[in-house]
Amino acid sequence: MSRHAGRSTTRWAEATLPALTVVLFLLAWEVMVRWRGIAPIFLPPPSSIAVYLWRMIADGTMEYHLGVTLLRIFAGFLLAAVSGIALGVLMGMSRVVARVADVWIAALYPLPKISLIPLLIIWLGTGEAYRIVISAVTAFFPIVISTYSGIRQADRGLTKAAKDLGANTRQIQMKVIIPAAMPSILSGLQLGMGVTIILIVAAEMIGGSSQSGMGYLLINSGQVMETEKVFASLVVLAVMGAVIIKLQQWIDRKVAPWAMQDDR
Amino acid sequence: MDVVVDNVTQVWGGENGVTALDSFSHRFRSRRFSCILGPSGCGKSTLIQIVGGLEEATSGTVRVVDPTHPDAVRRLGSDSVMVWQNLNLFPWRSVIDNVVFGLEMRGVARSVRYERAHALIASVGLQGFENHRPGQLSGGMRQRVALARALIMERAILLMDEPFAALDAQTKIVMQEELLRIFDATHKTVLFVTHAIDEAILLGDEVVVMTARPGRIKEVIPVELPRPRSLEMINSPEFGGLFDRVFHLIRDEVMKTMQQQAAKAVA
């Protein structure tokens, strides 16, 4: 009886406490700003951030900038995913490709990709191409590396079993090694998505000629000291990131359910 | 199908490497159940992988001979199928898609392979679990999937590498009875690797006792218990006599293995 009651209390706490801490934090923030009379240009209260956020949504600015940013994120991510998985698979299948690519990856992977921004702006200008390329280049590396290591670490026992059951080399690659590498590929895609979001927003902040996107909105609002808009944009960015990550986790569970903990 | 192993030696790691198998020669007779028994590291798994065409012997030959056409040359691995110690089921495939794997690779039509898989899955008592993944099944059920996946190949030779070693005692008994039933119904040639003496005697028509590393044949002991076999035979005096004989052979070898390991630990 008591153990059962204890469990349901824990479950109740698990469900409500996270939300409760957020509410308490916002409340403390609001009270402190009003009580100490902090200037809104420095730290606006949550209530007025909410008002600004609502206005920006109502007049469509937020939707516009968010939409543009999302499109860029998906373009960069798609480019990185396709090229990264393709090269990773090729590396896994061919020792020669692996040797050659390994040199380039070892040299370029540790380089902070943001440091490529000046060069890319010189080569590509400040339009869409530069933003998508910088994010794709950054996301490319974790995707290639995870794909390659997933393929290399494919269980030897499974490939032997497939061979015993009459699979030829090509069938072993397609029907055993690639599915076996799937969980690793998916975790590479998660890492890739994370850096794509960062790089797109950063690139929108630097030298954006198109004057659009969440990064632009942030930097522009900051420059004109509209701190409420800065916070409103941050809130939207945080929600966007969380939604993308949850969506990706949901897709991963659909694509590779066997790789999940609860399968055991 | 007879499996003729002639002077097979397997050395791992080049010239001065570890000799896993040393001059192993034996004719495994058609339609008989042969158990290969030995201490761990005696090369018994290596032996059946060589028989299955999955490892290359350092020297010596393995031939599969059809007693009715003794001169026909048969490709190693094309008459046999393996049941692995750790099963090696494909975790992303459902039970039925694991079972059909071999037929799928061979290009058998979808409807045909599923029909045959359904029948086999029912015969090993897994109906209703066709769409589960291996990760959702118990150890004994996974074992049945592995068995069905091998049986669907309809190969004359069944190679089994300690298939029941990881099962709990009760599940193991059930699976042994299941295997006896399948053997009586199909009369395949079975090479069954194990380190359990009672299992070897209960299942086998002969027990090939191996020495500690390097693995050689110590003695081949025929088991003349009548078939169909059942678990009750364990209590018979014949069984007890055989157990004693095998036990004394294997005890020395296990001691040797322990001494080898102790020497390695000191060095």
CATH assignment of the domain containing B239: 3.40.50.300
pLDDT of residue A264: 42
pLDDT at A7 over 60: yes
pLDDT band of A13, cuts 50, 70, 90: confident
| Mean pLDDT to the nearest integer, B84-102 | 96
| Mean pLDDT to the nearest integer, A241-259 | 92
User: Are residues A157 and B86, on separate chains, in Cβ contact within 8 Å?
Assistant: yes
Q: What is the mean pLDDT of chain B?
A: 93
Using CB atoms, pick whichever of A158, A166, A264 lies closest to residue B88: A158
Q: How far is A238 from chain B (nearest CA, A)?
A: 34
Residue type, A31: V
Using CB atoms, pick whichever of B88, B92, B106 lies closest to residue A161: B88
Q: pTM here?
A: 0.86
pLDDT at B202 over 50: yes
pLDDT of residue B22: 92
Q: How many domains does chain B have?
A: 1
User: Are residues B102 and A165, on separate chains, in Cβ contact within 8 Å?
Assistant: yes
Residue type, A240: M
On chain B, the residues whose CB falls within 8 A of the CB of A163 are 54
DSSP helix/strand/coil, B18: strand
Structure ipTM:
0.91
Q: How far is B158 from chain A (nearest CA, A)?
A: 12
pLDDT of residue A263: 46
Structure tokens at B32: 């008989």
Whether A175 has its CB under 8 Å from any CB of chain B: the answer is yes
Per-residue exposure over A131-167, b if at least 16 CB sit within 10 Å of its own CB, e if not: bbbbbbbbbbbbbbbbbbbbbeebeeebbbbbbbbbb
pLDDT at A209 over 70: no
CA distance A81 to B236: 66
Report which of A128, A109, A110, A104 is spatially closest to residue A209, judged by C-alpha positions.
Answer: A128
CA distance B48 to B6: 13
**Lowest mean pLDDT: which of A230-234, B30-34, B111-115, B164-168?**
B164-168
Question: In chain A, where are the structural domains located?
Answer: 1-37, 52-259
CA distance B173 to A96: 50
pLDDT of residue B258: 85
Using CB atoms, pick whichever of A162, A164, A171 lies closest to residue B81: A164
Report which of B154, B223, B157, B162 is spatially closest to residue B189, judged by C-alpha positions.
Answer: B157
pLDDT of residue A5: 61
pLDDT at B33 over 80: yes
Q: Which structural domain range is residue B257 located in? A: 2-79+155-266
DSSP string over A128-188: HHHHHHHHHHHHHHHHHHHHHHHHHTS-HHHHHHHHHTT--HHHHIIIIIHHHHHHHHHHH
Tell me, yes or no, whether B113 lies in a domain: no
Higher pLDDT, B236 or B263: B236
Domain A52-259's class? mainly alpha
Whether A122 has its CB under 8 Å from any CB of chain B: the answer is no
pLDDT of residue B73: 84
Structure tokens at B47: 């032996």
**Lowest mean pLDDT: which of A111-120, B74-83, B124-133?**
A111-120
> Which chain B residues touch A if contact means CB-CB below 8 Å?
49, 52, 54, 77, 81-82, 84, 86, 88, 90-92, 101-102, 104-106, 133, 135-136, 149, 153
Q: Tell me the pLDDT tens digit for each residue of B239-253.
A: 999 999 999 999 888
CA distance A181 to B50: 28
User: Are residues B90 and A166, on separate chains, in Cβ contact within 8 Å?
Assistant: no
Whats the size of chain A, residue-wise? 264
